[in-house]
Amino acid sequence: MKILVCTDGSEQSQKAIEETIKIASGCSVDEVAMIHVYESRPVSLSWGEESYVSQKDIERLREWEEKQKEESKQKLSDAARIFEKNNLKVNTIFKEGHPADTIVKVATEEGFDMVVLGSRGLGGLKKLFLGSVSNAVILELKSNVLIVK
């Protein structure tokens, strides 16, 4: 069995990691991989020929985005150490893109039997039941999905 666990650094994704460790420790698992999807924001903010943001501000936005990307990589690395502390090997996957679409694409292309993710992540608005990423993954993915609360 191949398991893909999703992390964004949130408390819910921490619970998904802990549940994946329980599953991987208790049964025969061929591979555990952990994915963190970094969603970049467009930096160019202009309308037609007239720019509404200075070049200096665009450069600040690019620096901020690079810092966010490095923090995302650190979240993935920190989460991988949790597996190591439990004597489990985990492959890490860092991708840029829309989280739900990227998770579904990786899970499908790499043939994961199960995807584990938290019910809500770090998104801005909280949903009543499921977060937008977990909901989209459930709807789009053909393999098993475990949502951890």
For the full predicted model, state whether its pTM sits above 0.75. Answer: yes
The mean of the pLDDT values for the chain is: 85
Q: Is the per-residue pLDDT at 48 higher than 90? A: no
15 Rama class: left (phi>0) / alpha (psi -120 to 50) / beta? alpha
pLDDT in tens, 76-109: 999 999 999 999 999 999 999 999 999 999 999 9
Residue 76's alpha-carbon distances to 35, 71, 121, 126, 141, in angstroms, are: 8, 9, 14, 23, 23
Measured in whole angstroms, the distance separating CA 13 from the mean position of its chain's CA atoms is: 9
Q: Which domains does the chain have, with CATH numbers?
A: 2-40+70-148 (3.40.50.620)
Q: How confident is the model at residue 124 (pLDDT cuts 50, 70, 90)?
A: very low
Q: Is the per-residue pLDDT at 47 higher than 90? A: no
